[in-house]
Amino acid sequence: MSALVPPHGGNGLTVCLLEGRAREEEFRKAAGLAKVEIGPAVFGDLIMIAIGAFSPLRGFMGRADRQSVCENFCLADGTFWPVPVVLDASEQEAGGLAPGQEITLVFRGESVATMRVDEISELDGEDRERECRKIFRGSGPDSAGEDFMERAAREHPGVRMVLARKKYAPAGPVRALSEGSYPADYPGVYLRPAELRAELEKRGWSDVAALQLRNPMHRSHEYLAKIAGEICDGVVIHSLIGNLKPGDIPAGVRIRAIRRLLDAYFVPDRVIQAGYPLDMRYAGPREALLHALFRQNFGINRLIVGRDHAGVGDFYGIFEAQDIFSAIPRSGNPARDLLTAPLKIDWTFYCRRCDGMASLRTCPHGAEDRVILSGTKLRKLLSEGGEVPDHFSRPEALEVLREYYAGLDEKTEITLHGAAAGPGN
């Protein structure tokens, strides 16, 4: 019996990715079915369903599940789930579809899945506003007041995504035909849950932490990973390799920079670099819960949660993503409850007077002695050609990042918000 945390939902990994002859037969059938065009965010969700990373989901959610997730943090059957997983379709695409019918999901001209339509519901204004307010509204300054929807519609990429969805939401189980270019683009890094679990078993790990990354890895990230490495069997540096927002650094660049750091500053037998194909939702606390849930399916029982996890702007309180783990409902049934726990770590920084990495819990000195480490701040400095302060990032990583920025013809303006400014500033 495995010593790893079991997959979420109590039924093992629910893998919906076809291979071999079954894939060939389904691909031929897909050519004759009605088609729904999907975008990158839905394709990322589809792959996560396909490889078992979103176990126990076997497809896209219907209205009852979506509403229960928003209101109660669980699917309609009571299984914990923090964020809706939605397939959207236009009126033209959904017209004429009926329950029981099969459709083909198409991404950039390629048939990537078939789906049995169990339900078709309209994504009306009430449905969209419920999701925006329940999933994306936090306790930060940008979420304050009655004008949240107005502000978020302008400034929050996750809210804009929900508001931009097409009119209908077909729901039902999928049979996936493709993982896109991820296996070819990220060999040895793009690992399915079963593959990462096999590697963890091979290493004899049972207490495993994940470091979630969507920014370049700087000294604070390194410090977080090493704290986890002191108390766990090992650490998975688990990078998002799906789509980000404008101004973020492409996954391939970040993967190369991380590899340089791991080779130079980590014990090889105690760290794994991996990636997953999801797009960011920037849902702050709710997304931290999703990050923990799918890590459970990868065999990871702890998620490092620091400041402003999965945040954007000042929509969330700095440690709101830590606090939400204590507030979610628990049924007492391990098959239905979230089992991966947060490893909560305070704001970290380099302190000149301590002469090393520290946190608000361990360093008594003031803001003037601290080098505040932030992925957003690092991107801003590099994008503007600014000097990166000592102890902000390792030279091996900076070499890769500077090479990337030097090759850009156009640069996106990057704004610093409260979470990037630092404590005491």
Q: Is 345 left (phi over 0), alpha (psi -120 to 50) or beta?
A: beta
Catalytic residue (one of 197, 215, 259, 370):
215
Beta-sheet pairing, 302-305 with 271-276: unpaired
Q: Return the closest-CA partner of residue 255 out of 397, 85, 142.
A: 397
Please give the mean pLDDT across all residues of the chain: 93
At residue 405, the pLDDT reads 85
Per residue in 318-377, pLDDT tens? Answer: 999 999 999 999 999 999 999 999 999 998 999 999 999 999 999 999 999 998 766 677
The domain spans of the chain are 20-123+165-178, 199-421
Catalytic annotation present for 137: no
The residue type at 334 = P
Instruction: Please tell me the CATH superfamily of domain 20-123+165-178, with its number.
Output: Sulfate adenylyltransferase (3.10.400.10)
Q: Which listed CATH number (3.40.50.1820, 3.10.105.10, 3.30.70.120, 3.40.50.620) goes with 199-421?
A: 3.40.50.620
The mean pLDDT of 126-144, rounded to a whole number, is 96
Catalytic annotation present for 215: yes
Catalytic residue (one of 214, 219, 286, 336):
214
Q: Helix/strand/coil (H, E, C) string of 307-358?
A: CCCCCCCCCCCCCHHHHHHHCCCCCCCCCCCCCCEEEECCCEEEECCCCEEE
Per residue in 371-400, pLDDT tens? Answer: 876 667 777 777 777 778 778 889 999 899
pTM higher than the cut 0.95 = no
Q: How confident is the model at residue 406 (pLDDT cuts 50, 70, 90)?
A: confident
Q: How confident is the model at residue 215 (pLDDT cuts 50, 70, 90)?
A: confident
- Of residues 268 and 389, more confidently modeled: 268
**How many percent of the chain have pLDDT more than 70?**
94
Residue 425 has pLDDT above 50, yes or no: no
Per residue in 37-84, pLDDT tens? Answer: 999 999 999 999 999 999 999 999 999 999 999 999 999 999 999 999
At residue 218, the pLDDT reads 85
Q: 421: helix, coil or strand?
A: helix
